[in-house]
Structure formats: C-alpha cells, structure tokens
Amino acid sequence: MTNFHDPKVEQDDALAFVKLLHVMGGLYIWEYFTSIWFEWQIITGRRRSRWTIWLYSGCRLAALLAMILVFVGFDAAHPLDCKVWLISVYFFAYLAFVFASALIVLRIVAIWERNLIVITIALSAWLVNIAFYVRSMARADAVWDPAANTCLILHTERSIEPVTITLVEDFILLALMLSGLRRYGEAGMFGLWRFLYYQGLFWLALVTVAEIPPTVFILLDLNDGLNLMFQVPELIMMAVGASRIYRCLADYTCMSEFNWNDEKSWAVTGGIMSDVVPTTIRFEETINSSQRPLGDLEMSHTETETHTIERTRSKNSNKPENCTFTEFDSPV
C-alpha cells in the first residue's frame, strides 16, 4: 500500500498539484477573454444591462484574480509574505463562490415568488457559507520554502470546513430551485420553465463533479498535495459554469419570449442574413403571471403588449445585435 506521507510521494503529489493548477489557470484565462464579449455588449449599449451583471462580472473577475495570485505565489522568483498571499488567494476565490451562489439564490427567490420561508432558508445557507469562508481566511497560514523556492501552504486539512459547507449549501440551493420548478407540474415542462429546469440539472451535475472530489480527498487527508489537488479545478468549474448559465439565460430571455413579424425584407438564406438590412421588427408578447417565473410584475390578468424596435442585422449573423426588448425584470 502506498505511503502517502513518504517524502518522495508528497513531493510528487505537490508537483502534480502545481502542474494541474497551471493547466486549469490557463484554461480559465482563455475562457475569460473569449467570453468578454458579453460585458462588452453591455458597455457599448448593445445589450440591456441589469444590476445582476455586477454579480456575474464579479464572479468572473474574482476567479481571474485568484488564479493570477496563485501563479504569483507558486512561481515567485524571490521570497514574499506567503501568509498575506494565501489570504489574498482565499479572499478572491471565496468571493467568486459567493457571487456564483448569489446568482442561484436570486433565481430561487424569483421562482418561489418571494416566499418568505424559502428566502430565509436560501439566505441562511448563503450567509453561513460566507461565515465559514471568513473563518478559513483567518486560519490561513503559509511560509516561504527556500528549498522549493515557492510558498508552502500549511495545515491544508483546515480546508475541510469551507469545502464541505460549500457542497452542502449548493445542494440545499439546488433542492430549493428544482422543487420550486416542479411545483408547476406539467406546465413547468415548457418554455422558460423547462429551460430553467435543465439548467438546474446541469448545475447539479456540475456541483457533483466539481465539489465532491475535493471534499472526499480532504476527508481522507492523505497529504497536503492531495488535499489541495482538486480545489483549483473546483473554483474554475464553478466560475465557468455559473457565468455560462447566466449568459445562456440572458440570451434565452432575449430570443424566445416573442414572435417575430418583420415589416421589411427579411433576407434570410439558411437562417443567415445575406446583407446588412435595417429592419423594423414588430412583435406581440402575451404576458401572464404564470408565465413569468423570473418576473417582478405581479399581475392578476393577461395583457398583450405590442413593441416596435429598430434593428440592424449584420451579414452572417443569426441573432439580434442587442437585447433591449426584454420587458420583465428578471434576476439576470
């Protein structure tokens, strides 16, 4: 049986951990800059902004800063204050988790139509998680290892608390979200409801894949390298998953809640515009309180709204250049 506390085994595991975090960090940097178009559309006014964009951008940016700091600590050429470095890494990593969870909490609040009991449960789980993050930062410790010329993280087994609590919190939030969607029975299996339901299943799979391995390895406490091995992949997977879910829902609410009725030529061949065509688009939207799972409008009747917007479609584009026509106030 392998002795995981053998110095040679510990050294190999630590080296594998450093290599893995560099790979995951590189993948996340690529993901960040290839999807920055979403923020750019909001900055340039091509997409309607909502206040939740700050949670979305905060999650992405916090994860990016955490990875940059990780690179600084493990690739430093000169000694540095490793304890301050580790606290900084924890701060931005935990901030990314907090923002990602906040997006799920807001979705739960909207799905349950501001049910006070559900809000209390969701917020309590979220705040308890934050409390354990703060405790973890207060207990963080690291020293400079002159032999390895890098920072050495001490007492890695202490990560058991935030990692486990994060797993429990996410499963609680998932249970609330999926049960909220299932309340509507067969009506919840169509349109936006179905989209949200499958997003919830995706998040459940992501939590299982991303958060269970680090929890298991910390519970086993084999050595420091294995204790830390899957924490960076967990951060990257959760940040990427949360941001992609946000973008997908934003695009869905822009594209699927209306019927197109083009008043001018809609020169489409195979679903792609053949030219730059200034287009006036008129659509009608039937609004019903039961059809607004993410809405802030409390309506007891059905009303029909007709909107007219000016649009310009670009060549080789099969989606709107902006999304200013979504009328309901959703969490995203």
Quick one: 235 exposed, middle or buried, by C-beta within 10 A (0-12, 13-18, 19+)? buried
Instruction: Give yes or no: residues 197 and 94 share one domain.
Output: yes
The pTM of the full predicted model, rounded to 2 decimals, is 0.75
pLDDT, position 168: 92
Mean pLDDT of 256-276: 33
Confidence of residue 217 (pLDDT cuts 50, 70, 90): very high
Instruction: Give yes or no: residues 266 and 243 share one domain.
Output: no
With beta carbons less than 8 A apart as the criterion, state whether 98 and 58 touch. no
For residues 60 and 216, what is the distance between their CA atoms, to the nearest angstrom? 26
CATH of the domain at 197: 1.20.1070.10
Percent of the chain with pLDDT over 90: 39
Instruction: Give yes or no: residues 287 and 233 share one domain.
Output: no
pLDDT, position 248: 80
Residues 6+ apart with CB under 8 A from 180: 108, 111, 112, 118
Token pair, residue 53, equals 């964009």
Residues 6+ apart with CB under 8 A from 23: none
**Boundary-marking domain end, from 217, 236, 255:** 255
Instruction: Give yes or no: residues 78 and 196 share one domain.
Output: yes
Confidence of residue 184 (pLDDT cuts 50, 70, 90): low
Instruction: Give yes or no: residues 51 and 129 share one domain.
Output: yes
pLDDT, position 113: 85
Position 43 in a domain = yes
Mean pLDDT of 155-174: 91
pLDDT, position 259: 37
Position 322 in a domain = no
Q: How far is CA 265 from the centre of its chain?
A: 39
Confidence of residue 191 (pLDDT cuts 50, 70, 90): low
Q: Which amino acid is at 1?
A: M
Alpha helices for the chain (secondary structure H): 7-34, 37-43, 53-75, 82-111, 116-139, 160-182, 191-220, 224-229, 231-255
pLDDT, position 204: 74
Confidence of residue 263 (pLDDT cuts 50, 70, 90): very low
Mean pLDDT of the chain: 76
Instruction: Give yes or no: residues 143 and 158 share one domain.
Output: yes
Instruction: Give yes or no: residues 100 and 141 share one domain.
Output: yes
pLDDT, position 253: 60
Which is more confident, 207 or 291? 207
Q: Which amino acid is at 215?
A: T
Q: Which amino acid is at 12?
A: D
Q: Name the 3-class secondary structure at 325.
A: coil
**Boundary-marking domain end, from 212, 236, 255:** 255
Phi, psi angles (nearest 5°) of residue 142: -155, 155
Pairing of strands 142-145, 150-153: antiparallel
Residues 6+ apart with CB under 8 A from 224: 10, 13, 14, 153, 156
With beta carbons less than 8 A apart as the criterion, state whether 223 and 9 touch. yes
With beta carbons less than 8 A apart as the criterion, state whether 126 and 97 touch. no
> Is pLDDT at 121 greater than 90 in this prediction?
yes
- CB atoms < 10 A from the CB of 247, how many? 15
> Is pLDDT at 47 greater than 70 in this prediction?
yes
With beta carbons less than 8 A apart as the criterion, state whether 316 and 284 touch. no
Terminal CA-CA length for the chain: 51
Position 330 in a domain = no
pLDDT, position 273: 29
**Boundary-marking domain end, from 208, 229, 255:** 255
Mean pLDDT of 90-110: 93
Position 224 in a domain = yes
For residues 83 and 92, what is the distance between their CA atoms, to the nearest angstrom? 15
How many domains are contained in the chain? Answer: 2
Q: Which of 87, 130, 82 is nearest to 105 (CA)?
A: 130
Q: What is the residue range of 192's domain?
A: 7-255
Q: Which amino acid is at 79?
A: P
Phi, psi angles (nearest 5°) of residue 227: -60, -35
Instruction: Give yes or no: residues 34 and 158 share one domain.
Output: yes
pLDDT, position 68: 95
104-108, 162-166, 276-280: the lowest-pLDDT one: 276-280
Task: Give the CA-trace dihedral at 60, 61, 67, 69, to 10 degrees.
Answer: -160
Instruction: Give yes or no: residues 20 and 77 share one domain.
Output: yes
Residues 142-155 have pLDDT tens digits of 999 888 888 889 99
Token pair, residue 184, equals 């509507």
Instruction: Give yes or no: residues 175 and 243 share one domain.
Output: yes
Instruction: Give yes or no: residues 165 and 280 share one domain.
Output: no
> Is pLDDT at 279 greater than 50 in this prediction?
no
Instruction: Give yes or no: residues 217 and 269 share one domain.
Output: no
For residues 284 and 268, what is the distance between their CA atoms, to the nearest angstrom? 21
